Amino acid sequence: MAYHKLIQTEKDGQPIEDIDSTLSQIKSEFLKAINKNLNTHMALGALYRLVTVCLANEEHLTKSLSEKIIPIFEEMMNILGLRIEKVSDEEKGHIQSLIKQREEFRQQKKYEEADEVRDKLAAKGIELKDEIHQTIWMKKE
């Protein structure tokens, strides 16, 4: 879920203090673990720490910060052989427009229509998670 929040973050804001050194330290821990006889326990610990940093700073998560974290996250996942389901920009746009339409239905208290949009997305393998200020989506395998 942390990865999906990262790729869907659009807001701007002030950078978090010391985040660059924290990210550098996490990446270094991860690579050290991988180079140390493929110590997956340590490597997963570093990945977990990255996720924890993302979730702990969720309110301060900005597009520029996401752009720093995503490559690190993807590199770690790739090295560990973990797959992240990706979608094309065109598909992202379509999904976002359906989510916006669903939100409009919900604001108008047209819950049946909103549920139909959710079902339409679910049929395409898209799972929605409603949060306080936004709806996060992810593609299921």
pLDDT tens-digit readout, 56-99: 877 777 888 888 888 999 999 999 998 877 778 898 889 999 99
Give the mean model confidence (pLDDT) for residues 133-141: 82
Three-state DSSP state, 57 = coil
Q: What is the CATH number of the domain that holds 21?
A: 1.20.120
Is residue 16 within 8 A of residue 60, CB to CB? The reply is: yes
Is residue 61 within 8 A of residue 54, CB to CB? The reply is: yes
Per-residue pLDDT, 1: 56
22 is in which domain, residue-wise? 2-80
Per-residue pLDDT, 141: 65
- In which element (H, E) is residue 120 found? helix 111-123
pLDDT tens for each residue of 96-110: 999 999 999 999 999
Can you say whether the dihedral through the CA atoms of 64, 68, 69, 71 is positive or negative?
positive
Domain end, chosen from 33, 58, 80, is at 80
* Number of domain units in the chain: 2
